[in-house]
């Protein structure tokens, strides 16, 4: 029997004011001719748990798990600061913005979500959680040196913003880029 699946992840949404700050930053980088796929500012988020192709029959289980996971977690604030790259600026594959303020609270939230969903038979992420906001993916080295030089020379930070809920997001991959749809949200207490 065929079970319908959807591509999903658990995330924290980013307020529009911060998305606008990221858009200004990305526009500076876009002036350089590169082969980097910049994340559309409306699509930026902080991924807490990538679930991948998930049976729609398990969505309620995810929602219930998130409710349990956030039961003891109070709202907190985040601040984004400085641009970096994975694995590093000498060999960048992914450009990201660091999470400065609120990092420990974010890591606690992510760990709790990971534990609860693992207990519900969802696959555990083997790599350690590295709090960040992805802004670009490198497709080829063209123009990379100029971008990394600019990253090293700029100062970037955002206003602090509240985190008071987590969302389950459906991701439809299209040729023009992913289309994200929030399926459910769970408020922090």
Catalytic residue numbers read 45, 132
Helical packing angle, 103-119 and 59-69, nearest 10°: 130
Q: Which residue has the tokens 């082969």?
A: 35
Q: What is the DSSP letter of 14?
A: -
> What is the rounded CA–CA span in Å between residue 140 and residue 42?
24
CB burial of residue 104 (10 Å; 0-12, 13-18, 19+): exposed
Read off the DSSP letter of residue 157. B
């Amino acid at each position: 029997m065929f079970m319908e699946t959807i591509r999903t992840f658990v995330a924290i949404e980013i307020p529009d004011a911060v998305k606008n700050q990221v858009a200004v930053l990305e526009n500076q980088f876009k002036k350089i001719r590169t082969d980097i796929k910049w994340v559309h500012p409306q699509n930026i988020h902080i991924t807490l748990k990538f679930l991948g192709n998930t049976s729609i029959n398990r969505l309620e289980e995810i929602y219930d798990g998130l409710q349990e996971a956030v039961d003891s977690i109070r709202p907190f604030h985040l601040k984004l600061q400085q641009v970096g790259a994975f694995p590093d600026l000498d060999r960048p594959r992914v450009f990201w913005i660091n999470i400065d303020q609120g990092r420990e609270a974010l890591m606690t939230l992510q760990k709790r979500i990971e534990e609860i969903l693992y207990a519900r038979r969802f696959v555990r992420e083997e790599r350690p959680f590295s709090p960040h906001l992805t802004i670009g993916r490198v497709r080829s080295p063209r123009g990379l040196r100029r971008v990394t030089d600019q990253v090293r020379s700029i100062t970037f930070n955002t206003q602090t913003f509240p985190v008071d809920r987590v969302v389950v997001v459906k991701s439809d991959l299209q040729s023009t880029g992913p289309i994200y749809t929030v399926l459910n949200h769970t408020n922090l207490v």
